Chain A
Amino acid sequence: MSLQRRVLLAAIGWLGTVTLLHLWLNTSAFEKRTVSTGQTGKQFRVGFLPVT
C-alpha cells in the first residue's frame, strides 16, 4: 500500500471517528427519543432552575 493511500485511509478514518464522537457527545443523535408510558422508568424529563 502506497504512503498516499495510507494517509488517505487514515484521514478518512480520523474524520469518521471525530464525526461519530461529535454526534455521540455533543448531540442526542444516539439517544432513544421516547417518552415514558409510565412503565419504562424515568424518561419524561422536566427541566428546572432551583428557583421558587
Chain B
Amino acid sequence: MTGSGTFEPVRFNGWPELKEAFLSQHLQASFILAPMAMALREQGVPIKIVYLGHRDGTTMMVHKDSDIHRIEDLRGKKVAVPNRFSNQRLIIFRAFKERGLNIDDVTLLEMPPPDMPAALHVRAVDAIISGEPFMAQSEMDGYGRVLFLTKDVWPEFISCVLAVHEDVIRDHRAEVQQLVDGIARSGKWLDTTMDHRMQAAKFTGQNYYNQDPKLLEFVLSKPPDRVKYTNLAVRRKDFEEIELVGRESGTLQGTAHFEDYADPSFVTDESAIQPYLWEDTP
C-alpha cells in the first residue's frame, strides 16, 4: 500500500516470526493469538490486549474423502494447529473434554497457516484448523470439507487480539486510540451490509493479503456469520474462559489475570462506535 498514514501494516506468514518481531519492539502493536499474548504477559513481557481482531472465523477442515465426520472421529488422528499458544489448540481441548476425550488422543502438529491446505491436500495430516481464509481455500479447491466452524463449537470464539507494548500505550496513547477506533469503525462498516464485505474482500485481497478476492468473498459470505467484526471490545468473561481452558490444557500457568494482560479502556461503549461512511468507487 502507498500513502502517508500513521500506521504501517507489516505482514508475516508464521506466528513465531511475528512474536519475535513484536518482542524486539520492531512492531509497536500486533495482531497476535490471544493465548500467546496472555502467555507472554505471564512471562513478564509488558504488553496489553486492547481490542480483538475479529470473532469466530476459524474452521476445522478434513479431507473430503476422510472418514472423519464428527469431532469424536479425530481420535488417533493428526491435526495441524497454528501454534501451541493458539485458541485453535484450546478449542480442540475444550471440544474433546466435552465429549469425554483427552487431548492426548490426537496428535497436534504446529504448522504455519499458509502451509496447511497443501498438507491436507497430500494427506500429511488428517485435519487442519486455523483462521480463515486458508481453510476455505481447501474447500474452494475441492479437496477440503468443513468438520466444524468455531461458531458452532465455541460461540463468539476469539482467535486474534490487538496487543500493544505498555510503553507505547503510555507514551503514544492518542495513536493507539486512533488505531483501535479505526479497527472498530471498520468492523462496524464491514458488518453493516454484505456489499461492504464484498468491497473489503476486493481491496484487502489486492492490497494487504495478496490473496484471491474470490476466496475472501467466499469466507465473508458462506455463511455470513463465518467471521464477525463487531462486538470486539475486550470483555473479562471471555478472557477468564480462555484462562480457564488454558490452565486446564497446560498452555497457560494462570499467573497473569485480566487486569495484568488487558486494557479495555480504549472502547468502553461499543454502541457509540460509528461505522465509516466509505464506499468503494467502481
Contacts and interface: CB of A to CB of B under 8 A. Distances in A.
Contacts, number: 105
Contacts of B132: 51-52
A48 B54 CA distance: 13
Interface residues of A, number: 20
A38 B6 contact: yes
B281 interface: no
B30 A47 contact: yes
Interface string B25-47: 11111111000000000000000
A31 B32 CA distance: 23
B: contact size bracket: 35 or more
A46 B8 contact: yes
B171 A44 contact: no
B27 A47 contact: yes
Interface of A: 27-28, 31, 33, 35-38, 41-52
Given A42-B5, A51-B133, A51-B159, 13 more contacts: A27-B24, A37-B175, A41-B4, A42-B6, A44-B7, A47-B31, A48-B9, A49-B14, A49-B113, A50-B209, A51-B134, A52-B132, A52-B133
Interface of B: 4-15, 18, 21-22, 24-32, 53-54, 57, 113-114, 130-134, 159-160, 162, 168, 171-172, 175, 179, 208-211, 219-220, 227
